[in-house]
Amino acid sequence: MKGKGEMVLKSRMKWVGLLGIVLSTFSLFTHFFLAGFTQDAVSEYQSSAAAVTIFSWRPVFEHPDFSPASPLFRRLWGPVRRLETLHPYANPRQHYPADPSSQSNGFIFVRIQGGFHEIRNSICDVVVIARLLNATLVIPEILSTTSSKGISSQFKSFAYLYNEDQFIAALTRDVKIVKTLPRNLKGARRKKEIPHFKPSYLASPYFYRHHVLPVLKKHSVVELVISDGGCLQAILPPDLEEYQRLRCRVAFHALQFRVEVQDLATKILHRLRAPGRPFVAYYPGMTREALAYYGCAELFQDVHNELIQHKRVWMRRRGIVKGKLSMNSEGQRLNGSCPLMPEEVGILLRAHGYSWDTIIYVSGGEVFGGQRTLIPLHAIFENVVDRTSLSTPWELSRLYGREINVGGNYPRSPPSELKESKPDTWKSDGPRPRPLPPPPARLKYPHNIEGWWGWVAESDIEPESTVMELRTNAHKLLWEAIDYFISVEADVFIPGFDRDGKGHPNFASLVMGHRLYQSASLKTYRPDRREVATLLSETREQLYHANYTWLRSIRQHLRKSLLDGLIEASTVVKSISFLSHPVPECSCSRQDSEEHASSSRLTHSQAQAGGVGVVHRCPDWMRSESGLRSKDKQTEEDGDEDEPTSESFFGYRSGNRVEGNGEMMSKEAILLNDQEELDGGER
């Protein structure tokens, strides 16, 4: 009886185990089946959860209430009034055929090398060239985003950064654009039978009409290889003024980032504005190439100095740099040829009146020298952020797509130590004692080299870029795309430098040009680096306890840079980069019809003072809203003064920060109301 009971018990246990296996299998099957339908919802949930709980940035503010109606707010964040009537208008104005000719002269295939700003400039130029030659443009190939760099195959070349469909649709009435070459021409390209040109930087329309066009008509296709960030001169003849507006339509309307980049940039912008405060976008412009080109190595110490010098040697060998190898970096800085350091920009902003709790967004990819270079800026402002502190690693990895694993992702462990075999000659040669054989050369492993710059101590020649480094370069394009979007939308923008490693306008110049086109009245400071270096040198010993006269000089300089910088850009920068100053060709002046007759002379002088030239009058349909703001203009002007400051230059009122000196709390603090604000500047 006992044995029979045990058998029944074992039989029941078997059935229970079998039932558990069946239920587990069914559960797994259900899980995988539902995963396909819930992936998007889970992703959205993770993204929203990350926006609340994962970010490293926790804003700290001195005063929770921040009144936009205060005079101080209007002085620091309000619009530049002389540019309020300036509005974007890139539509054709003269004779311009609405549709491209049905009979094309052939195909133009373009390969573009360079960084973010060079790619953007080049794309705008090749569209104009295609229209100029009546050719069909093939979607340009961005060489730094090809699959050979180890990036995701989900996005190909142009589509890695920009929205192809939007690009084609926006330019339908200007240029005929196709995604690929016809099949017969693809074969000719693989056999390298397509004639190709490497146009020089800022090539003239004459070159394309008299050298490229005949070849295009003969072979029905040409290939352009662009490496300098621009292949068409910036200032075109008067009869080609409509082509300048075509450049604006390409840069500011057709070139939209792909959906994933646009969505993440929009999320970051919303997170920046979530505290309800305006923010400053700051572009350091401190790239290794720019520092080497202008001889600013001595601004850094230790290995960074050597890295800059190595790059300058490389540039001199290739004829990019014509000057001496060793430059006086301090002299270059005083001459305005070196970037403003983050500490200097922080001092300028604090001296101008921006409080320590102002939100500062650092844009422009990576800063040479790393986060250590930004430590002084973090010490001056509490809320210094970038894209990494406002997004999650999961969101960034989703931006890159699915990428293959490549060698060198992880540090390899050193090989096992092999038993040393002594040479036979040493064993049997000569009487003892015998000298020991020379030790073997020390093996070098990746973990023995400190950082990516470890080659400096080993060789005078910089090693070739690894696949991971090439992949990172492609990622930098996406980082700069996000930063570009945010910098254009920022309430205030200030650049640390506006030149790249070839002496051409850089990322910051494109941002300032886009802001001038899209929202000209937003504050965009263009400090004169030479004058700033002089002002900082005057009070270097007492920089953090500056007097009233010095503070007033800084404020006057930044206020004047809002308009004086435009004048300089119209004469210097525009001659080498049209997109850095796209006015007056792509803008119009909008005013009330009643007000226009009485103030036309004032508007003209204001436009001239702003460096924008004679501006075309906006069409009637664009002038419907201009009267809404004019009613309140007088009341705004009456209160355009600073509030009396209750803190010193770098004083803080927070309990965990150092209090400012009492000297600035009394008479000089009241004088810092800056009555000179009423004398000009933003009005």
Whichever domain contains 235, its CATH number is 3.40.50
Please give the Cα distance from 443 to 167 (Å, whole number).
52
Q: What is the pLDDT of residue 422?
A: 54
Structure tokens belonging to residue 271: 């997170």
- Cβ atoms of 294 and 332 within 8 Å: the answer is yes
Residue 63 pLDDT grade (very low, low, confident, very high; cuts 50, 70, 90):
low
467-489 and 393-400 helices, crossing angle to 10°: 110
Please give the Cα distance from 665 to 34 (Å, whole number).
66
Question: Quick check: is 669 in a domain?
Answer: no
Please give the Cα distance from 216 to 197 (Å, whole number).
11
* Same domain for 463 and 541: yes
pLDDT > 70 in the chain, percent? 73
In 273-348, DSSP assigns E strands to: 279-283
Q: What is the pLDDT of residue 657?
A: 46
Q: Between residues 467 and 135, which one has the greater pLDDT?
A: 135
* Same domain for 272 and 245: no
* Same domain for 338 and 204: no
Q: Which conformational region is residue 137 in: left (phi greater than 0), alpha (psi within -120 to 50 degrees), or beta?
A: beta
* Cis, peptide link before residue 433, omega less than 30° from 0: yes
> If 0-12 CB within 10 Å is exposed, 13-18 middle and 19+ buried, where does residue 26 land?
exposed
Question: Quick check: is 119 in a domain?
Answer: yes
Question: Quick check: is 245 in a domain?
Answer: yes
Min mean pLDDT across 115-129, 262-276, 417-431 is at 417-431
Whose tokens are 């079998």? That residue is 18
Over residues 571-606, the pLDDT tens digits come to 888 989 999 999 999 998 876 544 444 444 444 444
* Same domain for 320 and 230: no
Min mean pLDDT across 101-110, 203-212, 228-237, 400-409 is at 400-409
* Same domain for 296 and 239: no
Please tell me the pTM assigned to this model: 0.81
What is the amino acid identity at position 678?
A: L
* Cis, peptide link before residue 438, omega less than 30° from 0: no
pLDDT of residue 378 exceeding 60, the answer is yes
Residues of the domain holding 271: 261-402+459-580
**CB-facing half-sphere around the CA of 225: CA atoms within 13 A:** 6
* Same domain for 570 and 552: yes
Please give the Cα distance from 249 to 63 (Å, whole number).
42
Please give the Cα distance from 32 to 27 (Å, whole number).
9
Over residues 94-129, the pLDDT tens digits come to 777 767 777 889 999 999 998 999 999 999 999 999
Backbone phi, then psi, for 615, in 5-degree steps?
Answer: -100, 135
Structure tokens belonging to residue 83: 């540019």
Over residues 164-178, the pLDDT tens digits come to 999 999 999 999 999
| Sign of the dihedral defined by the CA atoms of residues 599, 601, 604, 607, in that order | negative
Q: Which of 533, 54, 143 is nearest to 338 (CA)?
A: 533
User: Would you state the torsion angle of the CA atoms of residues 88, 90, 94, 96, taken in this order, to the nearest 10 degrees?
Assistant: -170
Question: What is the layout of strands, in order, in the sheet containing 383-385?
Answer: 383-385, 359-362, 279-283, 492-495, 523-524
Question: Quick check: is 206 in a domain?
Answer: yes
- Cβ atoms of 618 and 590 within 8 Å: the answer is yes
* Same domain for 348 and 321: yes
- Asked which of 223, 257, 291 is the last residue of a domain, the reply is 257
- Cβ atoms of 139 and 126 within 8 Å: the answer is no
What is the amino acid identity at position 571?
A: T
pLDDT of residue 437 exceeding 90, the answer is no
Query: How many separate domains does the chain show?
Result: 2
Please give the Cα distance from 173 to 520 (Å, whole number).
27
Distance of CA 381 to the CA centre of its chain: 21
Question: Quick check: is 290 in a domain?
Answer: yes
Q: What is the pLDDT of residue 294?
A: 92
Written in H, E and C, the secondary structure of 535-588 is HHHHCHHHHHHCCHHHHHHHHHHHHHHHHHHHHHHHHHHCCCCHHHCCCCCCEE
Residues 6 or more apart whose CB falls under 8 angstroms from that of 639 comprise: 71, 74
Question: Quick check: is 509 in a domain?
Answer: yes
Q: What is the pLDDT of residue 297?
A: 85
- Asked which of 257, 291, 321 is the last residue of a domain, the reply is 257
Please give the Cα distance from 166 to 139 (Å, whole number).
12
Please give the Cα distance from 39 to 182 (Å, whole number).
38
Question: Quick check: is 31 in a domain?
Answer: no
pLDDT of residue 609 exceeding 80, the answer is no
Identify the bridge partners of residue 493 per DSSP, sorted by sequence position. 281, 524
Q: Which conformational region is residue 630 in: left (phi greater than 0), alpha (psi within -120 to 50 degrees), or beta?
A: alpha
Q: What is the pLDDT of residue 639?
A: 39
Over residues 489-515, the pLDDT tens digits come to 999 999 999 998 888 999 999 999 999
H or E element, residue 361: strand 359-362
pLDDT, average across residues 199-222? 93
Average pLDDT, the chain: 78
Structure tokens belonging to residue 484: 């570009």
Structure tokens belonging to residue 368: 């040479």
Residue 516 pLDDT grade (very low, low, confident, very high; cuts 50, 70, 90):
very high
* Same domain for 501 and 357: yes
| Sign of the dihedral defined by the CA atoms of residues 545, 548, 554, 558, in that order | positive
- Cβ atoms of 366 and 452 within 8 Å: the answer is no
- Asked which of 564, 580, 596 is the last residue of a domain, the reply is 580
pLDDT, average across residues 396-408? 77
Q: What is the pLDDT of residue 428?
A: 65
* Same domain for 274 and 241: no
Residues 6 or more apart whose CB falls under 8 angstroms from that of 461 comprise: none
pLDDT of residue 317 exceeding 60, the answer is yes
Whose tokens are 């400039």? That residue is 121
Question: Quick check: is 683 in a domain?
Answer: no
Identify the bridge partners of residue 257 per DSSP, sorted by sequence position. 162
Extract long-range pairs of 49-56: CB within 8 Å, 24+ residues apart.
50/391, 50/392, 50/394, 50/395, 51/267, 51/271, 54/392, 55/271, 55/389, 55/390, 55/391, 55/392, 56/388, 56/389
pLDDT, average across residues 37-50? 42
* Same domain for 304 and 220: no
Q: What is the pLDDT of residue 601?
A: 45
pLDDT of residue 238 exceeding 70, the answer is yes
Q: What are the percentages of helix, strand and coil residues in the chain, rounded to 5?
A: 50, 5, 40
- Cβ atoms of 142 and 119 within 8 Å: the answer is yes
* Same domain for 492 and 563: yes
pLDDT, average across residues 73-84? 90
* Same domain for 253 and 317: no
Please give the Cα distance from 283 to 14 (Å, whole number).
70
